[in-house]
Amino acid sequence: MSENFWRNYQIRIEPWATEYDSPIGITDEENISDKPPIDITVESKDWKPRQPDPSAKIPEKIVFVDGRCRLDSRFLGQKDNEILYGVFATVAVGAVLVDRNAQRATAIETSVKRAIAVGGNLMPPVTRVPCPLGTKATLTYDLCLTSSENSPRASLSLIQKSMLKEEAKLAEKFNNNSDILVIRDGPLLYGLYKSPGLTMGYIKTMGKQYLNGDAAQILWHLNLGERTPIFFIGKPKQFKSHWSWYLRSGEQNIVPKNLGYHNLHGIVRMDLYGEVPLAKAIELANLSTVLIPQYASHPIRDPRAPQNLTPVGGLEKELGRHMGDRKVIERRLRNFLIN
């Protein structure tokens, strides 16, 4: 029984609040230690900004895919004389369908899973946490994860990777629909659940610098809707190789300089799988110069504006409603482990 697992390893909730120490915020991109080769001449040797393409045909339907993972509580245990590190977490993923003809955005997919991650190759059991009031509102943690590394960071990384996998599984559902453009919030993934070939990865944070020297200088001078030429990351036909480009998003009447922001405010990076033909990659890159600024968020409504896309911001709120109240869940976990 699951109760024996928690008793045998003397597992208790870590009393420090979850906002202390690093919350879940590790990405595969930031964990890459080696620097892949980068070819900045694949589109053109003339490394200058590309203007927005007003002739770009925007699809009638666009699906935005994103996920959220929240740390419900950390816990500590004991295995012989070794400290066990682990976490309870909630993982939620979803998709928003934007119908441009109907001018409507609808959340079409939402999925919430409760996860347990423990290090030291110790697989936690499926655990049901009953409601203290005796109702049927049971919390079921059935996404069970482990790794050989036993550290707080390892447990957090397991949760983050599980969320990315769930996002990729969701994006895969749209693989056979050529009428829908899929934009995945975050870097593209490689593995069992690979996103559709024409899915665009949307990276709103600069976790890694891909351009250097004169090539990097262009980022500081991009105007609204302008993009860099496409560059290729990796080697042709190599696993994890992909096309990429930077562009500046935002609204015309919001000038970063006037708001006291730095000149990289609004710069985002787009990704495409390397298997996509270069001509198609250029077509989608031109499309992004028109499409992305149209869905840029406003600083009045979103502190991550303009990088956080408006449909994604709405999806995050929707997922948050399905995840439940963290403080209530933490209290239930604490009661469960001491009884």
* pLDDT, mean of residues 43-72: 94
Give tens-digit pLDDT for 77-90: 998 889 999 999 99
> What's residue 240's pLDDT?
84
Q: pLDDT class for 198, splitting at 50, 70, 90?
A: confident
Task: Report whether 179 contacts 165 (CB < 8 A).
Answer: no
Cβ contacts of residue 133 below 8 Å, gap of 6+? none
pTM of the model as a whole: 0.89
Give tens-digit pLDDT for 18-42: 654 433 344 444 444 467 899 999 9
- Report strand pairing: 139-146 vs 104-118: parallel
> What's residue 246's pLDDT?
98
End-to-end CA distance of the chain: 15
Give the torsion sign (CA, 100, 101, 103, 108). Answer: negative
What's the CA gap between 139 and 141, in Å, rounded?
A: 7
Q: How far is CA 145 from the centre of its chain?
A: 19
Give tens-digit pLDDT for 154-177: 999 999 999 998 998 898 888 777
pLDDT higher than threshold 90 for residue 196: no
Cα-flanking dihedrals φ and ψ of residue 165, to 5°? -65, -40
Bridge partners (DSSP) of residue 183 are 64, 200
What's the CA gap between 80 and 120, in Å, rounded?
A: 12
Q: Following CA atoms 282, 217, 291, 281 in sequence, which dihedral angle do they give, to the nearest 10 degrees? A: 20
What's the CA gap between 33 and 58, in Å, rounded?
A: 37
